[in-house]
Amino acid sequence: MGALLCVSVYGDAMATPMRVGIIGASGFTGAELMRLLVGHDGFELVLATADSQAGNAIAGLYPSLAGAYGEDVYDRYESSVVDGLDLVFCALPHGKSEAVVADIRGSVGHIVDLGSDFRLHDAELYPQWYDTTHQHPELLAEFAYGLPELFRDDLVNAELIAATGCNVAASVFALAPLVAAGLIEPAGLVVNVIAGVSGAGRPPKEHTTFCTVDEDVTAYGILTHRHTPEIEQALSEHSGKDCTVTFTPHLAPLSRGILATCTGRSAAGATTESAMAVLNDAYDGEPFVVVSDRSPSTKATLGANTVHITARVDERTGTVLAIAALDNLVKGAAGMAIQCANLAAGLPEGTGLPTVGVYP
């Protein structure tokens, strides 16, 4: 696929765009990266690997990409194919990025991992939550955590970035300012997420077939979901408080979307007005965050790198309620990764990223 060249169809490309590759480009997040990079004037996509699809036409798997990638095909991955690239996105299943990053680090300028291999700082958490021992724990401390709105300074010029995932992003966006401001108690937080099926990945699985998912909502990962420690880590680091979370995701018959409903004990004197003021202050000037009295809707975020947030305080029960919605493939994956990459590369943070959703 050496002929691959992604030039923006939305405007003139930069004189010397950065040369970019995607490892694991045949999955849903890889395809979303390819879609968004078409409109990115600072990045030129020159490599898209997918071992399961090597040699097959990109448009054959994703006809939606045909207008930009024509007859280009997926390449097979080997470490040498990324040599000299300015930036590489790893869009691989959990457990697959560890060896790849160790293999290519130093051969490329920046690496953004969309998986969870490097998100947790403590290597001992991987056996507990992922049932596996981390093979390169020495690299964990070198990764910047990829949630720009909360940890922006860590991402500027970063070589290695672990982009935040969809479940965690929605939960943390809703809760972080409230915990940091002391409006909600940090212990005993409860997060219930409704998640679209694309979050489970492209390969078919028994629990994600149409007949299984259609007209059904089910909770999964009860008390054991692997994203729990990541939510606790992000909230604790941002607030400086020891946060504990009960996290329960629910699979719903949606192609895309994450809706996180988060609750916790309110501090004395907390009101809906003060909670909304905290959210508005925290995200003032953030182009990819919409704070509103409206109840967030997954469909409102479709195709956009934008999260919608609101909050209420139930003074009768002493409970804070915070809700966030986002597109799991954009703000929860590919868009988040590109936003992080822009910061690492010294580009305007919003380059190539849509703020407006597709409707209906």
Per-domain residue ranges of the chain: 18-142, 167-328
Extract the tokens encoding 254: 């949606």
| Sheet bearing 110-113, strands edge to edge | 43-49, 18-23, 87-90, 110-113, 160-163, 144-146
What is the Cα–Cα distance from 297 to 313, expressed in whole angstroms?
Answer: 20
- Pair 123, 297: CB distance under 8 Å: no
Phi/psi zone of residue 24: left (φ > 0), alpha (ψ -120 to 50 degrees), beta?
left
Q: From CA 127, how far away is CA 118, in angstroms rounded?
A: 14
Class of domain 167-328: alpha beta
Provide the whole-model pTM. Answer: 0.94
Tokens in use for 252?
């719903």
Arithmetic mean of pLDDT over the chain: 94
Task: Kindly state the DSSP code that residue 224 receives in the 8-state scheme.
Answer: T
Residues of the chain with pLDDT under 50: 1-2, 6-14
Segment 7-39, tens digit of pLDDT: 443 344 446 899 999 999 999 999 999 999 999
329 phi/psi in degrees, rounded to 5: -90, -15
Report the length, in residues, of the chain: 360
Whether 90 is a known active-site residue: answer no
Q: Which of 127, 145, 142 is nearest to 234 (CA)?
A: 145
Please identify which of the residues 6, 90, 166, 243 carries the catalytic annotation.
166
Q: Which residue has tokens 């590919």?
A: 334
The reported pLDDT for the residue numbered 201 is: 80
Q: Are 276 and 310 in contact (CB under 8 A)?
A: yes
Provide the pLDDT for residue 209. Answer: 85
Residue with tokens 């992922």: 130
What is the percent of the chain where pLDDT is above 90? 91
CATH code matching the domain that covers 18-142, chosen among 3.40.50.300, 3.40.50.920, 3.40.920.10, 3.40.50.720: 3.40.50.720
Of 191, 313, 335, 173, nearest in space to 238 by CA: 173
| Long-range contacts, stretch 126-133, CB < 8 angstroms, 24+ apart | 128/229, 129/224, 129/226, 129/228, 129/229, 130/94, 130/95, 130/226, 132/95
Over residues 186-245, the pLDDT tens digits come to: 999 999 999 999 888 887 777 888 888 899 999 999 999 999 999 999 999 999 999 999
